[in-house]
Structure 1
Amino acid sequence: MHAIDRLSAGEFDDGVKELAALLVDAVDDGASVGFLAPFDHEAAAAWWRAQAPAVADGRLMVWVSRDDARINASVSLALAAKPNARHRAEIVKLMVHREARGRGLSRALLAIAEQAALEAGADLLLLDTETGSTAEHVYLTGGWTRYGIVPAYAGSPDGTLRDCSFFYKRLTAGSA
């Protein structure tokens, strides 16, 4: 089993540098996580720092896995803010460092985020990912339902427009 911890607001602030390194690794490896190359550590840290208010007030939960005291994987759960959407949440920024892949970290992180969603009253999860990516395979084999593909939805890190698959997962007690 992997040691995965939810970051408190203070731990999040202290972990921004390592989270930025993880995000830079993901973009450098071609992951379509919302950023274009070149993407440097300073820009990644700024993006993470901008998430601090949401982490502090609980709208965004962030979990990390560590290897030799370094963050090697992360996932975030964004709770819906609209009153009519409190039953749903979004999985965002599931990332595993290139050196830590193949250890089941993606599935372990997703399981923890899914359980936390249920505990927060969200039984419908949503996410999107690049069609044909390794991440898409994780979701397709992990009980997620693809409900559509949008052509040329987002740019990959090199700017090439890529199709995006949209997924949902209904959660019930014991399913997470």
Structure 2
Amino acid sequence: MSTSAAVSVRRISAGEAREHAAPLAEALSDVLIDCVEGGASVSFMLPLPRAKAQAFWRGVLEGAARHERVLLVAETSEGRIIGTVQLITALPDNQPHRADIAKMLVHRDARRRGVAAELMAAVDHAAREEGKTVLVLDTVTGGDAERLYQRAGWQIAGTVPNYALMPDGAYCGTTFMHKQLKV
């Protein structure tokens, strides 16, 4: 899908999601656990057991195999997954034009190298391929990701104080954002 120096972003096919679920879940769990241990509020609390992370990714891969979501990964030239993002396309009948962005994650040792920006550009491309024109996501209010999304053309719809918890149990506000795409 996209490539930069030593990092490429690609879509996990339905067949790959089915046939290689175990190693993919393992590699994606490494990224998720690292992000949660680094303080990312992405639905999980500390400590995050590997079995729980793997179960989450198995569910995501099953959804990708059923074409309910698009799973993108960022990999090093050696094939190590260092980042991921999802485009959730299985939405109600009255929202065929919309998709949700979920779990945009980059391993801490791969940050500040443009990986997240590449993932977001790739998810825009995937959304257009899927015929989606309205994208929605939520993120921690005031965090690095919020600034990243704004640089990528996302607009703030609103914020909710104390909406979620950080992995350590502290409350955090959540910013809801949207992006309008031209197909």
**Shared fold by TM > 0.5?**
yes
Question: What does residue 35 of structure 1 align with?
Answer: 44
With the length of structure 1 as denominator, give the TM-score of the two structures: 0.94
Number of equivalenced pairs: 173
Q: Distance in 1 between matches of 2:100 and 2:131?
A: 13
Identity %: 39
Gaps of 5+ in 2: none
Coordinate RMSD, CA, aligned: 1.2
Q: Distance in 2 between matches of 1:41 and 1:132?
A: 29
Aligned residue among 109, 113, 120 for 2:130 = 120
Gaps of 5+ in 1: none
**Superposition pairs of residues 1-176 of structure 1, within 5 angstroms:** 1=4, 2-12=7-17, 13=21, 14-67=23-76, 68-173=78-183
Show CA shifts across 1:127-167 (max 9, x none). 00001111111012211000100010001101111000000
Comparing 4-13 with 20-29, greater Cα deviation is found at 4-13
Show CA shifts across 1:3-59 (max 9, x none). 111112343313110001100001000001000101021110011112233111111
Q: Distance in 1 between matches of 2:62 and 2:51?
A: 19
Q: Is the 8 A contact 1:80 1:90 kept in 2?
A: no
Q: Distance in 2 between matches of 1:113 and 1:52?
A: 17
With the length of structure 2 as denominator, give the TM-score of the two structures: 0.90
Comparing 148-157 with 42-51, greater Cα deviation is found at 42-51
Q: Is the 8 A contact 2:89 2:99 kept in 1?
A: yes
Q: Distance in 2 between matches of 1:133 and 1:72?
A: 20
Alpha-carbon shift at residue 80 of structure 1 (Å): 3.8
Comparing 2-11 with 26-35, greater Cα deviation is found at 2-11
Comparing 80-89 with 160-169, greater Cα deviation is found at 80-89
Q: Is the 8 A contact 2:98 2:135 kept in 1?
A: yes
Q: Distance in 2 between matches of 1:62 and 1:53?
A: 11
